[in-house]
A and B are shown apart, each in its own frame.
Chain A
């Protein structure tokens, strides 16, 4: 079937197999490989992107469901300068292996839109759908706090 999705400000349109997941459309059809697949149960959050400004796990929706909507991935976040969340992750050492980072950053962008100054407990609770196996989360929480201030 044909899907038309605005991705990172560019309208994309492709014929895809009906069962194509949004994450595979982004990665395989468009070649936007920042968004990662870490599980097959919607548990890990590595594939988190923004769909019409809200964070979604792109492995849980079909590309067809995103047709006619607007998607932002990590690649589309920075303008001429880093997004404040990207900057905070860099300054606060919020990445180690980096595999969770793209999804984590998109989840944080969504969180800060809903709650611009979350406290540490709110941050931890809001990120429970995004797993990181390397950092123990502390520097990520630091980064979110910094980005929110």
Chain B
């Protein structure tokens, strides 16, 4: 079934924030931010006098602080800048050309301070981003270590590995369009959660706010709520009495949108020579960037929660220390703390297997969790799963034994192109990061059903999936799905953490139940019978057992008065999706070049409502995980400038993915669904990384950090 979203996308294009042509925005001006070119400096002065435009700095803003305490990103930098890309001033001009000219001549004086780059320097604490706090460590999540779990181990392996910093890179950069109408700010904003954005902006500006989410050109966790720039724009629109539009450039986006990942992990795994793992420790340092965003809270929590992975390990200790550095703030990016946990345990399993001389598949099979529910030592309560079957299926489909034989043949023949096989088994918490979700379902005149959801899809195709749910249950032909407008949707949480179907879908499902109950009563009245005696079949209400009797369509039932139900759904627990990925790579040992040959994946997200969009989420997730393993990294020069901002993986760098279906239901929500949005990313990165290392194992390589660039591979083997 074609997605309902697609007609516009393929004929006239979506309506993204840059495309909004609302009459209220007529005569708008254009804003751009002057950003710090240095990582750490004291601002000695800002001179916008050469500018033929309005220039606003922190000194102009009469706004409350952006948060409590000193460790907060100000709306605009006031005295000190703490990362390359930090907004320092807003320039507003009458058109885009004038804007570019004006922004280029704002002069900002900087007195350099020593930058803190990398987690080691942050932990050393010789330079502090916020001297008044006495430390660069902003949060410690998890347990302290006692070491007892490793005492009875025959083998203990420890390594320090890096889960590199990434840029989320949605195709659409950030932007906004703001206008004040009758004392209220209206903001068109690409966001994953309009209500949180509204609340943040309204609190800052002390005025009512409406957020309207247009089509969003991808987000991946990096368009949560509203960034400080949006508050400044709303303030300036009020000050100037004119609408303002803002769109950052891609170059800006690379340094000014939040980054993701960024953990240095010390992993220790211990067990017996028979393959039994007895203890695992994950001691990670999270680079949170210059100001605390979700990397200072949510990511460490998720990394600790998911540390045990798919394994029944008696002792699991996990600790994440989040530290500040003079770099772009780090926040959620597809997986948000869970890919980091999975990469750690999956690397550890391979290191352990290599040390005891056992196949990595065998070690995983020995240690899989096999009965559910299961509570891990770090407190995750897994609802349902079948981890060994998931692995068995990818191995069978991939031809694991034959591939191993080919690997042996190549090695024996001295082939310079080495074959590598990698496994990534994962469990991921979905719907773990938020409260409930709102839904309103209305059947109006003409029998058209309208769904208002607090979820806020941005490419996932949720509107199509909700349409399927509602039209199937009600038997109506036409369903309209609305989301992302705080005037239309009374209460909403948004789309993140693979939660939308679990929470948003369940909310809609409950609302449909209520509509059906109310419709039954009305139909019974109109058919002059008891409510227990009417039934709904294919969109028509009839007296039960009388298929040829007079029926009532939804249009007839709702001709005088609509039927509606509002639901706030919050009685569901997080679920735990899981899967197994098999990656096959070829590594040219003369050049270090890695080519991904095959990617075989089981991703089990419980009951599947919309197979098409589910596959789409898996494909996209796989591509991003593979990109982390092989291509992408945000690297900083010691002075804090960006030296490597590789962006995007192209079609020619990816193979066709081989997907296998598996659906183990959950009882934790009425739909029996789990999240699928991040699964592909979480499993594929370690699978590909393990495959590259496996290809080189006969050359003495037992670890290689991501991304497995030709240079890094070549250096490891030469």
> Chain A nearest CB: distance from B356 CB in Å?
36
Are A38's CB and B13's CB within 8 A? no
Are B620's CB and A95's CB within 8 A? no
Question: Contacts of B170 on A, CB cut-off 8 Å?
Answer: 97, 99, 133
> Chain B nearest CB: distance from A7 CB in Å?
14
Are B14's CB and A74's CB within 8 A? no
Chain A contact residues: over half helix, strand or loop, or mixed? loop
Bound-state CA distance A129–B648 (Å) is 11
- Residues of A within 8 A of B (CB-CB), count: 56
Task: Say if the beta carbon of A132 comes within 8 Å of chain B.
Answer: yes
Spot the interface stretch: B4-12, B140-148, B177-185, B579-587: B4-12
Query: Given A36-B172, A134-B218, does the pair A98, B2 have CB atoms closer than 8 Å?
Result: no
Question: Contacts of A69 on B, CB cut-off 8 Å?
Answer: none
Are A40's CB and B651's CB within 8 A? no
Are A95's CB and B5's CB within 8 A? yes
Query: Given A96-B461, A133-B648, does the pair A33, B18 have CB atoms closer than 8 Å?
Result: yes
Are B13's CB and A34's CB within 8 A? yes
Task: Say if the beta carbon of A9 comes within 8 Å of chain B.
Answer: no
Question: Contacts of B7 on A, CB cut-off 8 Å?
Answer: 90
Task: Say if the beta carbon of A102 comes within 8 Å of chain B.
Answer: yes
Spot the interface stretch: B120-128, B362-370, B530-538, B652-660: B652-660
Are B13's CB and A35's CB within 8 A? yes
> Chain A nearest CB: distance from B625 CB in Å?
10
Out of A90, A97, A128, name the residue touching B651 (CB < 8 Å): A128
> Chain B nearest CB: distance from A87 CB in Å?
8
Bound-state CA distance A33–B21 (Å) is 10
Bound-state CA distance A141–B18 (Å) is 28
Residue of A43, A97, A141 contacting most chain B CB atoms (<10 Å): A97
Query: Given A86-B10, A89-B10, A97-B215, does the pair A127, B172 have CB atoms closer than 8 Å?
Result: no
Out of A27, A82, A141, name the residue touching B656 (CB < 8 Å): A141
Residues of A11-54 at the interface with B, using a CB-CB cut-off of 8 Å, are: 17, 19, 24, 27-28, 31, 33-41, 43-44, 46
Query: Given A43-B647, A97-B217, A127-B651, does the pair A38, B172 have CB atoms closer than 8 Å?
Result: yes
Are B2's CB and A36's CB within 8 A? no
Are B461's CB and A36's CB within 8 A? no
Are B172's CB and A90's CB within 8 A? no
Query: Given A39-B250, A82-B11, does the pair A137, B171 have CB atoms closer than 8 Å?
Result: no
Task: Say if the beta carbon of B718 comes within 8 Å of chain A.
Answer: no
Question: Contacts of A129 on B, CB cut-off 8 Å?
Answer: 650
Residue of A99, A120, A136 contacting most chain B CB atoms (<10 Å): A136
Out of B9, B13, B250, name the residue touching A40 (CB < 8 Å): B250
Are B171's CB and A95's CB within 8 A? no
6 tightest Cβ-Cβ pairs between the two chains A and B: A34-B13, A97-B459, A99-B217, A136-B623, A98-B9, A136-B619
Please name 6 pairs of A and B residues whose Cβ atoms are closer than 8 Å in the assembled complex, sorted by A. Answer: A17-B97, A27-B18, A37-B247, A38-B171, A90-B2, A139-B615
Give me the interface of A with B, judged by CB distance under 8 Å: 17, 19, 24, 27-28, 31, 33-41, 43-44, 46, 74-75, 78, 82, 86, 89-91, 93, 95-102, 105, 120-121, 123-125, 127-141
